[in-house]
Structure 1
Amino acid sequence: MATGCFQWGPPERLVESKSIKEALEKPEEVQFLNLHNSGLIEVPSEVAQLRGLIKLGLRKNSITQVSPLVADLKALEWIDLGQNKILELGLELGQLDKLETIYLSDNTLRVFPSVLCTMKQVTYVNLDRNQIESLPDNISGMESLKWLRLNANKLKALPDTVCDLANLQRLYVEKNELETLPGRIGKLKSLTDLVAGNNKIKALPETITGINSLKRVNLENNQLAELPADLSGWRGLDWMQLRGNQFSDDEKKRIKEALPECFIVF
């Protein structure tokens, strides 16, 4: 199963261990601990001894919560907790000032972890395939966030404060229950990729075509009958997926004429 948009494996320069036993033979040296598919039900307590750890891979286990000991890993920049059984996230990750990349896909989270909203340095969060129903208003606290993945959750709406994520480049919210997008979405001036297919979106905010940075848009399998009247702001688009909507032939023609350089799929 794909783990997201970033390469999962570590760069070759990192000193990697694939077991706790191996890591404890050189605790001062190990930088990447890969415990993928190791039958774990909790984070091993010995992890706290690896103070130089930069990457921690715990994907595909049966972990239900993150141990407070993880807060001791002050050098940690990357953590993969995908494909576990995590119901909620405590405050531990919020104590890691260098942590930038967080994978939490394929868990059983029902609530967006509030601790993430306090982490100004985080650039990438993957929460695909959980059961999250809403996002907190203070999500705007993630000031450095560039990529946000929330595919296949139970979102019915996005808060307007998502539009305050000034550095957001990629937003993935396909396979949810969205009926609209935030009215202020045009504020996302760094956005290059918007993936919102397989929702229930009936209309787009007029402001969305003010995002001149957009290169790729996926709105397939929604309930759209038209796009905003002014499409001039999207002339930089390279690709747009619109199949599975309700566009008339006249509207399809208008869109194609307005965006002659864009590859469009109806």
Structure 2
Amino acid sequence: MGNSGLSQHIETAKKTGVLRVSGSLNDFPPGFLQLEGSLRTLDLSDNKFVTLPNDISRFMQLKHLNLNKNKLTKIPDCIGALTKLETFNICHNNLTSLPRTITNLINLKQVFLSDNHIKDFPTVFCGLKHLDVLDLSRNEIRCVPSDINGLNVSELNLNQNQISDLSYQIVYCPRLKTLRLEENCLQINAISPRLLKESKISNLSLEGNLFEMKQLMNIDGYEAYMERYTAVKKKLF
């Protein structure tokens, strides 16, 4: 996009609070900082950012940030300044970890992190009370740690990772209803009876692991899980 096109986008964004720029950006465009007091939605998907400039911290009114399909290898610590952020899309990048300052993003509701190279479960999302959906599918996570019990989401997507160890503490996630664990490395003995009996999970996806799905029926608590599953299905019809 040429400078004239960018200028027009920025002028429009001053009125709407929304800026979408895709192409070959690897830095913030000229004039971009004019929007720091007014920008609510920033979509920089399909660009070539390797690092996110620290100036991102100046956009403190941001509620929606889309960085999908860039080349990001890290997110700067200053991201923690965006305390009004509600949706954060960082799919299809090259991230291996996330900064601790994510814990400052107290208004986050939805986070999409699929198709990265994250190896350790990002416990920085634990304790965020408004977080409802966390998508970590298609990463390289091997273990769901005991700290998971502080996660407040209702839906957690861990499909297509390398998980072989699932802490029973996930039972204590207070709002977790949907847990997706398809195509991981779980053995049947990694599925705790407490997960089936004591959790609030009513939608548990486990296809493509190292056991036959019919083996799940032999775990103590399977009937309790099926009661929750059926009750939810009835509400949908």
1:177-235, CA deviations, whole angstroms, 9 ceiling, x for partnerless residues? Answer: 1112122012123x3322110112353222132132214xxxxxxxxxxxxxxxxxxxx
Q: Is the 8 A contact 1:193 1:214 kept in 2?
A: yes
Q: What is the aligned partner in structure 2 of residue 213 from structure 1?
A: 228
1:135-167, CA deviations, whole angstroms, 9 ceiling, x for partnerless residues? Answer: 11010011x210000000011131101111131
Q: Is the 8 A contact 2:114 2:139 kept in 1?
A: yes
Kindly, what percent of the aligned residue pairs are identical? Answer: 24
- CA-based RMSD of the aligned residues comes to 2.0
Relative contact order (alpha carbons < 8 A, sep ≥ 6): 1 or 2 greater? 2
Which structure: greater helix fraction?
Answer: 2
Match runs of 1:20-169 below 5 Å: 20-21=28-29, 23-142=32-151, 144-169=152-177
Where does the alignment leave 5 or more consecutive residues of structure 2 unmatched? 1-15, 22-27
Quote how far apart the aligned CAs of 1:73 are.
0.7
Q: What is the aligned partner in structure 1 of residue 205 from structure 2?
A: 195
Name whichever of 16-25 and 112-121 sits farther off: 16-25
Q: Is the 8 A contact 2:171 2:198 kept in 1?
A: yes
Tell me which amino acid in the other structure corresponds to 1:18: R
Where does the alignment leave 5 or more consecutive residues of structure 1 unmatched? 1-13, 216-235, 240-266
TM-score (normalised: structure 1): 0.71
Q: What is the aligned partner in structure 1 of residue 183 from structure 2?
A: 175
Q: Is the 8 A contact 1:30 1:50 kept in 2?
A: yes
Tell me which amino acid in the other structure corresponds to 1:214: Y
Tell me which amino acid in the other structure corresponds to 1:173: L
1:219-264, CA deviations, whole angstroms, 9 ceiling, x for partnerless residues? Answer: xxxxxxxxxxxxxxxxx4759xxxxxxxxxxxxxxxxxxxxxxxxx
TM-score (normalised: structure 2): 0.79
CA distance in 1, matches of 2:229, 2:100: 34
Quote how far apart the aligned CAs of 1:40 are.
0.4
